Amino acid sequence: MKSPKVWTAMTAGAVVLSLGLSACGGGDDGDGEGGSAATKFDAGSNGIVNPSDKKGGVLRMGMSDDFDSTDPGDTYYAFGNNFVRLYSRTLMTYTSKPGADSNKPSPDLAEAAGVPSDGNKTWTFKLKKGLKYEDGSEIKAEHIKYAVARTYDRGVLSHGPAYFPQLLDAGDYKGPYKNKNLDDFKGIETPDDYTVVFKLKDPFPEFNELVTFSGQTAPVPPDKDKGAQYRLHPLSSGPYKWEGDYQPKKGGVLVRNENWDASTDPNRKALPDRIEITAGLEANEVDNRLLNGQLHVDLPGSGVQDAARQKILTDPKLKANADNPYAGFHWYVPISTVNIPNVECRKAIVYAADRDAMWRAYGGDVGGERSTSIQPPIIAGRQKGTDLYTSTAAGYKGDVNKAKEALQACGQPNGFSTTMVYRSDRPKEKAVAEALEQSLGKAGIKLTLKGYPAGTYTAEQFGSPSFVKKEKIGLGTYGWAADWPTGYGYLQAISDGKAIVPAGNSNPSELDDPEINKMWNDVVKLDDAAQREAIYNQIDQKIREKAAILPNVYAKSLLYRPQTLANVYFHAGFGMYDYANLGVTG
């Protein structure tokens, strides 16, 4: 699948440094005595803080930089997909509930979840009747077909996910901007105004999840489309509409859409009367405004910067207004199966790794939780797994003796030398590399560290098998988050041999194992989610048995919610607060 460039790109900047941090796995509510009873540290991670149904008020959202696009069909950031729910409805959307339930697809424009036929190759959705755009015209099946068709033209819409062109059986269709005749697009059929039928090339069991995660099935009437400029004022099908146009790098205002019918939409509370968005702020300025109440929400939702983090964690009053949920990422270290072909040598690396230092690199408890399985905890059906060749015990510094035994078995009793790469503009990854250089060195594995810019790292260096081979790269820092929270969404791109590509490769271990590949070929034919999840967990186990990935931490973010923000909860599907259901008090 397509790499979540999105996430990677989003966190590429300084933002990444500050992925928040605090963990607490369970009952640790820190020094919550500073806040009121309702606002304890991390209360929003599993429940609703300040629950409210009160309509009215102005919700102010801000961000550094900007959206990749405000066009629902052209955004790939998780926060973009979260935000466009305010003014666009899709076939399916995430359930709006706190906790693990929010991961489940829920019908939005559709009456019910899509129905598969023809061995998961045909998916049929029925639309609710009488739904309207902001201009009062009716939403029709053909508009969804058009919306999907326009995602085929990467020259016009370059940011969004590219799943539909990969999956749909549409020949070499080039998109509606090059071919005005929509009947030439064979990937979707619309037998009547309220039926959408997707035709797939190959069996694909998680199509409901796929149409849930992005805004690409939000309807677009062909006569209103303005290509790349459509993003400035997409025609609203949701509870809000743009007042005038959105101004990139500056911001815009959303006001109520009177043609939206709340009774058809259980997933959006739409509490505020007005939503003001300010873009292009400096990252630390966003935090300052959040802390002094000028802003309610930091849009990217990846957590506060280091300066604010320090302030929040050392002040019990502020800490009570912060949440520390799983951010969706697992930061781990792929080990090249090409440059280190012997599994015993890879095991030696895992044995020798100083997990304590690697965990500290991401900011201790608040930054992340030491990982066991490859799939992070927010993945549906994920089993915790057990430590293989390593330990998640507190203070575990690696096992030099076991590592030396593995080196013996590998036929390299004196160790070996290899290169480790990392993203030079990410201090946390540099700290991981330095920690491994030290701890692997004790077992005789000599690492040479090389940093590359985050902008090219996943595409041209660690993500390029020819580069990895030429530079004899043995391991590197990496992070991955799923587009949608299932084992397929998380593991396929990083472990299926078919997923290895010449550039932008998301499987830097280059794991191409016949056993695992066969599991991937078989799993897509299964209808039952529980059966699939069992296989995903087996694949997870196999990856670790083959020591193709050295686990590190499940990322946690530190989100701040001002006290004037109401109805706040962490949404696991988006990995941040649920923007369509926030309210304001006072």
Applying CB under 8 A, the residues found at the interface with other proteins are 14, 17, 21-22, 306-307, 310, 313-314, 354, 356-357, 359-361, 363-367, 419, 424-425, 427, 430-431, 433-435, 437-438, 448-453, 456, 470-472
Residue 61 CB, nearest distance to other proteins (Å)? 25
Looking at 13-128, list the stretches that DSSP marks H as alpha helix, in order from N- to C-terminal side: 43-46, 78-83
Tokens representing 257 are 């859409």
Tell me which H or E stretch contains 191. none
Distance of alpha carbon 561 from alpha carbon 153, whole angstroms: 39
The contacts of residue 26 (CB under 8 Å, 6+ apart) are none
Closest CB to other proteins among residues 134, 429: 429
Residue 186 CB, nearest distance to other proteins (Å)? 44
Closest CB to other proteins among residues 165, 508: 508
Residue 471 CB, nearest distance to other proteins (Å)? 5
Distance of alpha carbon 567 from alpha carbon 38, whole angstroms: 11
Closest CB to other proteins among residues 317, 430: 430
Q: Is 317 helix (H, G, I), strand (E, B) or coil?
A: helix
Question: 273: number of CA atoms within 13 Å, CB side?
Answer: 4
Residue 130 CB, nearest distance to other proteins (Å)? 53
The contacts of residue 183 (CB under 8 Å, 6+ apart) are none
Closest CB to other proteins among residues 17, 270: 17
Tokens representing 251 are 């911001």
Distance of alpha carbon 465 from alpha carbon 460, whole angstroms: 9
Residue 420 CB, nearest distance to other proteins (Å)? 10
Closest CB to other proteins among residues 117, 314: 314
Tokens representing 216 are 């690409």
Residue 419 CB, nearest distance to other proteins (Å)? 6
Closest CB to other proteins among residues 15, 499: 15
Residue 438 CB, nearest distance to other proteins (Å)? 6
Closest CB to other proteins among residues 298, 483: 298
Nearest alpha-carbon partner for 390 in 332, 351, 354, 358: 351
Residue 361 CB, nearest distance to other proteins (Å)? 7
Residue 370 CB, nearest distance to other proteins (Å)? 11
Closest CB to other proteins among residues 363, 487: 363
Closest CB to other proteins among residues 22, 391: 22
Closest CB to other proteins among residues 121, 472: 472
Residue 503 CB, nearest distance to other proteins (Å)? 16
Residue 510 CB, nearest distance to other proteins (Å)? 19
Residue 427 CB, nearest distance to other proteins (Å)? 6
Residue 457 CB, nearest distance to other proteins (Å)? 11
Cα 93-99-101 angle, rounded to 5 deg = 45
Distance of alpha carbon 502 from alpha carbon 80, whole angstroms: 28
CB-count exposure of residue 430 (10 Å: 0-12, 13-18, 19+): middle
Tokens representing 430 are 């540099």
The answer to whether the Cα torsion of 75, 76, 79, 84 is positive or negative is positive
Closest CB to other proteins among residues 51, 455: 455
Tell me which H or E stretch contains 57. none
Tokens representing 467 are 């580069």
Distance of alpha carbon 150 from alpha carbon 217, whole angstroms: 10
Contact present, 309 and 21 (Cβ < 8 Å):
yes
The contacts of residue 145 (CB under 8 Å, 6+ apart) are 182, 185, 188, 190, 196
Closest CB to other proteins among residues 304, 380: 304
Q: How far is CA 67 from the centre of its chain?
A: 15
Residue 382 CB, nearest distance to other proteins (Å)? 26
Cα dihedral 313, 563, 48, 558, rounded to 10, equals -30
Closest CB to other proteins among residues 318, 431: 431
Closest CB to other proteins among residues 134, 365: 365
Region at 423 (left for phi over 0; alpha for psi -120 to 50; beta for the rest): beta
CB-count exposure of residue 258 (10 Å: 0-12, 13-18, 19+): exposed
Distance of alpha carbon 58 from alpha carbon 253, whole angstroms: 10
Closest CB to other proteins among residues 448, 563: 448
Contact present, 298 and 279 (Cβ < 8 Å):
no
Q: Number of helices and strands (H, E) in the chain?
A: 19, 24
* Largest distance between two CA atoms of the chain: 75
Residue 406 CB, nearest distance to other proteins (Å)? 23
Q: Is 163 helix (H, G, I), strand (E, B) or coil?
A: helix
Contact present, 509 and 343 (Cβ < 8 Å):
no
Query: Would you tell me the crossing angle of helices 343-352 and 427-442 to the nearest 10 degrees?
Result: 110
